[in-house]
Amino acid sequence: MLFQVLNCLGDISRSIARVGDIKKVDTKAVQLDTKLGQLDTKLGQLDTKLGQLDTKLGQLDTKLGHVDTLVQARLEAALSKSECHVATVACVAVLGAWLARKPGAGRGAG
């Protein structure tokens, strides 16, 4: 009978050890769940920062588009002025050449 009681106490002791192991596993599972929650939070923060970066890149793209339009307009204006200047110089040169060929022109005639 004492042997049966000792066996029963051994079974109870092993059961208690298993319960302790189960509690350790449960504690590890809770810790893992906490770590996964923290990781999820960090990923959410990263997603937010990436969204902000995407917004800033969009704003930069818009600003670069405005700058491109402005530069193009200024170049066109400069070319237009340059073309007018070149055309004026050419007209004056042609007129000067024509006047120089005209008999008596520009040689004190009059």
Query: Low-confidence residues of the chain, pLDDT below 50?
Result: 110
Q: What separation in angstroms does the CA of 60 have from each of 51, 52, 53, 64?
A: 14, 12, 10, 6
Does residue 106 sit in helix, strand or coil?
coil
pTM tops 0.75 = no
Predicted local distance difference test score (pLDDT) of residue 21: 73
Predicted local distance difference test score (pLDDT) of residue 110: 46
Which residue ranges make up each domain of the chain? 1-100
